[in-house]
Structure 1
């Protein structure tokens, strides 16, 4: 009996230790977030264990675990027609409202899901639910892109998929097929999908062969640069759920097909040191001392190494590719971009990426709405329904939908 009690006590203590992580009191529903984060970490630990024993790549295992019970067939409803199809070789899921169109042309939103370029799916319950909500509340056709993932493909294939599907949808004959108003189209995405959405908009703006121009871009806590992992938000939120700084660096290395052995060097910005001439001018484009408000900078200091590791740049040249880091695009390119919505969260390593992009776009003359949530955390918009409901999830989603309604 005593032995059983001791084992139960030990297991309880171990579980509490695994679940508990100190969180700021200002984050939305911290205990619920701890439990959610512990679930994610458990899945990550299991996938890493499977990788270690050679069963499969850890990201392939993690994607399988996270989506096995979560992928949905295209189910239409009384108000919404949902279908899966293919645009120029890329799978997409299309949500079409059944109300209020008749002879009127429709609004449209191209949506690109997040997941570190390695996880997630347009068919996952969370994204299916989000796109249904957007389609019904904005009364717009939503095209959710099912791009290929790491480790099956790496940069720039995810972007190529997103760009190909979007360009196909923008063809006049395709827009006519879905009765879309060519003057009322938006491109949107969250997290890594926000990265792809921003890159797609930049590529479309520079492509003279595309005759239909996007009216809006809407970026939800986007990841926009790989040059500085010591912005104030990276320093402040380095161990925050749902996305820590080290995990973000590993997502980047997987996306750009680089070795994880570079992770610790990138953690201290050895890949963009002052002795690497290729990176100096690019770092100037994301000088957060001039791009961030004092309330974000606080007392944090830039991390600039005098000597770095040039091997990282030589082996992972995509680190300097602006298609991977839309934040470092030249002002001349930014001036061509459409009206923009950017959502950021205080407790998110990517907070400053979105904030700096908003500032650079404003300086280029683009009309920008920047919504910042003081109690928000990375990925929170996906947690707006039971059983993973967070009040900040519902507020971010509703604010985003409201902006689309008012501007599209």
Structure 2
């Protein structure tokens, strides 16, 4: 009886070891580690582990056992939440939307600052638990009431559920600020990655709700601001830099927009873009708006390939304003609150934020820009994950807290 179990154990061990060796080989064959990044060995190890989990998820999905996305979400839910005895943390629902409220225990004689936080994860991962420690840090460091929004995501929910959930949760919170002890004149919208783009979408939408308390400032951490031009300098320069490689970005964009992966090349090469549409948006989305120091001579041109009408018909819905807040009219942009923009040099989404920075400044909106030369996409999540934290992680977390404290 013991022999079959022994054979099974050896077989599984060999399988898992084989998959891990394959992911390590894939890592070294495909990944680029920029020289500016600190602790490259640790960086490589973390990416190999991430690639290993994704590979196992893909295998399980092909075997029809479990979807790759759910497998990733299972592992993220194992994250350790650190208790902060200086805060009261409450889980609740605004309608059907799960939210988590972080409130300082200390008594305050006046209303506190409020932070509405939208997590990142590309609609694939990210959760209230995953960003719990970051929200706890912001609540304590800035003496603020933080509302973290647990919006719906893949694999069951697609575009535009994220922006709708975040907007609805924000409206509910803004209507009840006094209940949570929040000063209506000091509410900040903050988000990371796709959550950063959602900050822009929500603050733009709230312009149409003049009766609600106004958002005092928006904090966009390495935000995703558009889903049209994937040939910006940062996309080309950082397409093989973890943790948001082109392959990961492709999966996130196509699955959230419900685009079949067979169209991914048309999406990222721009052949789906109708010439008239590009002429309409190029004044905002062209790499001409990126400062020269972020460009090099080896960049490929934008939208130079033949127009693919079939791809256009399949993908055209991704040019909507609910995906690309950078495309909204000037009159809306001019009414949004001041912004704190965080960019990382080694992030494919770097130029999304730079384009939005220009749009805001052109309309007279005050912008504070914080650029991290050794930063990479998603690094803020590691700010307290010793021994896997990086200097850039701590710098960004402290910079965000410092800015918010000044509100």
Same fold? TM cut 0.5: yes
1:177 to 173, 179, 196: 179
When structure 1 is superposed on structure 2, of 219-228 and 385-394 the one drifting more is: 385-394
> C-alpha displacement at 1:311, in angstroms?
2.7
**Is the 2:23–2:52 contact (alpha carbons within 8 Å) kept by the matching residues of 1?**
no
The CA distance in 2 between the partners of 1:347 and 1:184, in whole Å, is: 32
- In 1, distance between residues paired with 2:22 and 2:256? 34
Q: Which moved more, 1:52-61 or 1:177-186?
A: 52-61
Judge conservation of contact 1:28–1:375 (CA < 8 Å) in 2.
yes
Give the aligned length: 387
Residue equivalent to 1:270: 271
Identify if the C-alpha distance between structure 1 residues 371 and 318 changes in structure 2 by more than 3 Å, giving closer, same or farther.
Answer: same
3-state DSSP of counterpart to 2:117: strand
> Partner residue of 1:331?
330
Structure 1 equivalent of residue 162 of structure 2? 158
After superposing the two structures, state which structure 1 stretch, 188-197 or 307-316, moved more: 307-316
Equivalence map 1:71-90=2 (5 Å): 72=81, 77-90=84-97
Name which of structure 1's ranges 193-202 and 232-241 shifts more when overlaid on structure 2.
Answer: 193-202
What is aligned with 1:297?
Answer: 295
In structure 2, stretches of 5+ residues that fail to align are: 1-13
Q: 1:62 to 1:14 in 2, by over 3 A?
A: closer
Unmatched runs of 5 consecutive residues or more in structure 1: 1-6
1:198 maps to: 200
- Mapped partners of 2:263, 2:360: distance in 1: 31
Aligned-pair RMSD on alpha carbons? Answer: 2.0
Contact 2:34 2:241 in 1 (8 A): no
Query: Which of the numbers 38, 56, 59 marks the counterpart of 2:48?
Result: 38
Contact 2:270 2:305 in 1 (8 A): no
Residue equivalent to 2:10: none
Deviations 1:303-339 (A, max 9, x none): 2235222333323343110111111222111101101
Aligned-residue offset at 1:77: 4.1
Residue in structure 2 matched with residue 383 of structure 1 by the alignment: 382
Question: 1:253: Cα distance to partner?
Answer: 1.2
Distance in 2, matches of 1:96 and 1:258, equals 40
Does the CA-based 8 Å contact 2:158-2:258 persist in structure 1? yes
TM-score (norm 2): 0.90
Aligned with 1:148 (options 133, 152, 156): 152
Q: 1:121 aligns with which of 120, 127, 150?
A: 127
The residue that corresponds to 2:135 in the other structure is: 131
**Which residue of structure 1 aligns with residue 347 of structure 2?**
348
**Aligned residue number for residue 257 of structure 1:** 258
Deviates more, 1:129-138 or 1:260-269: 260-269
Report if aligned partners of 1:228, 1:272 keep a CA contact under 8 Å in 2: no
**CA deviation string 1:136-158 (max 9, x = no partner):** 00000000000011111111111
* 1:402 and 2:402 matched: yes
Q: Secondary structure at the match of 1:204?
A: helix
Change (3 A) 1:304 1:357: same
Contact 1:242 1:379 in 2 (8 A): yes
**Residue 107 of structure 1 pairs with residue 113 of structure 2:** yes
